[in-house]
Amino acid sequence: MWLLIIFCLLIGLAIGFQMPVLLPLIYAKYLSIAILAALDSVFGGIRGYMEDGFDTTIFVSGFIVNALLAAGLAYIGDKLGVELYLAAVIVFGVRIFQNLAIIRRYLVKKY
Amino acid sequence: MQSKSAKISIAIVSLILGIMLAVQFKTTASNNATQIPARVEDVAQQLNSATQERDALAEEVVSLQAKLSNVRKNDEAMADLEEELQKTRMAAGTTAAEGPGIILTVNDIPRKIQPGEDPNDTIVHDSDLNTLVNDLKSSGAEAISVNDQRIIAMSEIRCASTLMLINTRRVGPPFVIKATGNPDMLESGMNINGGWLSIMKQWGYQISMQKSEKVQIPAYNGPIRFEYSVPAEKGEKAE
């Protein structure tokens, strides 16, 4: 399980670094928000997997929709003149740390 | 079954996440490398000021080109003016001069003063120097300096106790008088019978005179002030 995640991450990194795509600076901010959302989804998925409450549909849809929503919210915030992406950063950041904490407890219990 | 699909979905999601991360890393790295100002407003302002500067410079180019063509047209007049200016500066003594001429050295009478003798009888006086300089002028000297003080129209030579004041600078013996001009004319003009130099020689002053192919006369480096005088006929010469 862990090996699979790390392996796929590394492959993704390799592909990404090899890709000739360079995002315009204006969109870098939105991609960073989307990455935060994706990270949150992944950790949430891992947590669900360890809790045996993992649902593929929820996981995949959460990954896609969260990322798009976060980026879209940040974009709207920019248009409105409100730094809305900060809200996304805080929410996803808090959730990532919560999920990490729960994963850690399961791991401690397991071994 | 559920575990398998979960694994597949997690794998795909991880893959996509990795790609996104890599792209973001690359973008951030290139961003930091170029140090582009993040704010759109800043860039817009820079563009604005650069555009304004460019417009101002373009206007300057136009005006300078007009001036340049003007100058080209008046090039001959400018050259004439330049020549005139150089000549005037030479006459005024505000530029250094060099050329053939003579170097005349005058020093006090070397003998000991006898008791009861006036020491003024053995030293070089301002009147002596004034007369010598005047003789040089009448012999056709073009530029004269005494102890590297350029003699200009308003230069004074006067005694100040044991020293001499020339251009308000203190100078002392020996006095080295340099003059440019025709060396032969100058020499014969100074050595003329009954001239002041011959009289000084008879009295026993130490005098040496040598012709030189290249006499260097420094420029007058004092202030030139006109507090009371103004040009009487303005603009007549400029035409």
Mean pLDDT by runs of 10 across the 111 residues of chain A is 83 86 77 87 84 83 88 87 85 91 88 79
Reported as a pLDDT band with limits 50, 70 and 90, residue B102 is very high
Please, what is the average pLDDT of chain B? Answer: 83
In the predicted structure, residue B122 carries a pLDDT above the cut 60: yes
Q: Residue B169 in 3-state DSSP? A: strand
In the predicted structure, residue B37 carries a pLDDT above the cut 80: no
Are residues A31 and B27, on separate chains, in Cβ contact within 8 Å?
A: yes
**pTM for this entry:** 0.45
The span from the CA of B107 to the CA of B204, in Å, is: 10
Are residues A17 and B17, on separate chains, in Cβ contact within 8 Å?
A: no
The span from the CA of A42 to the CA of A103, in Å, is: 12
In the predicted structure, residue B239 carries a pLDDT above the cut 60: no
Are residues B18 and A10, on separate chains, in Cβ contact within 8 Å?
A: yes
Q: Which contiguous run of DSSP H or E holds residue B166? A: strand B163-166
The span from the CA of A99 to the CA of A28, in Å, is: 26
In the predicted structure, residue B2 carries a pLDDT above the cut 60: no
Tokens 């007058």 appear where? B220
Reported as a pLDDT band with limits 50, 70 and 90, residue B234 is low
The span from the CA of B51 to the CA of B39, in Å, is: 19
CB-CB contact of B186 with B102 (8 Å)? yes
Tell me which of B20-34, B103-117, B157-171 is least confident. Answer: B20-34
- When CB atoms are compared, the residue of A5, A12, A17 closest to B10 is A5
Q: How do beta strands B175-180 and B206-217 pair?
A: unpaired
**Any chain B CB within 8 A of the CB of A17?**
yes
Predicted pLDDT at B57: 92
CA distance A69 to chain B (A): 16
CB-CB contact of B19 with A15 (8 Å)? yes
Predicted pLDDT at A106: 87
Reported as a pLDDT band with limits 50, 70 and 90, residue B32 is low
In the predicted structure, residue B189 carries a pLDDT above the cut 90: no
- When CB atoms are compared, the residue of B7, B13, B15 closest to A11 is B15
Q: Nearest Cα to A48, choosing from B6, B76, B166?
A: B6
More confident residue, B143 or A22: B143
The span from the CA of B22 to the CA of B14, in Å, is: 12
The span from the CA of B144 to the CA of B93, in Å, is: 9
Please state whether A52 falls in left (phi above 0), alpha (psi between -120 and 50) or beta.
left
CA distance A33 to chain B (A): 10
Reported as a pLDDT band with limits 50, 70 and 90, residue B36 is low
CB-CB contact of B106 with B196 (8 Å)? no
Predicted pLDDT at B237: 54
Residue partners of A30: CB distance under 8 A and separation at least 6: A71, A74, A75, A85
Predicted pLDDT at B33: 56
The ipTM is 0.80
Predicted pLDDT at B34: 56
Predicted pLDDT at B35: 55
Predicted pLDDT at B226: 83
Residue partners of B106: CB distance under 8 A and separation at least 6: B124, B128, B129, B132, B173, B174, B175, B177, B200, B205, B206, B207
Are residues B12 and A12, on separate chains, in Cβ contact within 8 Å?
A: no
Q: Which contiguous run of DSSP H or E holds residue B177? A: strand B175-180
**Any chain A CB within 8 A of the CB of B5?**
yes
In three-state form (DSSP H/G/I as H, E/B as E, the rest C), the secondary structure along B57-119 is: HHHHHHHHHHHHHHHHHCHHHHHHHHHHHHHHHHHHCCCCEEEEEEEEEEECCCCCCCCCCCH
CB-CB neighbors (< 8 A) of B1 in chain A: none
**Any chain B CB within 8 A of the CB of A71?**
no
Q: Residue B16 in 3-state DSSP? A: helix
Are residues B22 and A19, on separate chains, in Cβ contact within 8 Å?
A: yes
As given in the structure block, the two tokens for residue B35 are: 């140090």
What is the full DSSP assignment across B197-219? HHHHHHHT-EEEEEEEEEEEEPP
Residue partners of B138: CB distance under 8 A and separation at least 6: B189
In chain B, residues 6-25 whose CB comes closer than 8 Å to chain A:
6-7, 9-25
**Any chain B CB within 8 A of the CB of A96?**
no
Interface probe for A, chosen from B4, B20, B39 (most Cβ of A below 10 Å), is B20
Are residues A8 and B36, on separate chains, in Cβ contact within 8 Å?
A: no
pLDDT above 90: percentage of residues in chain B: 10
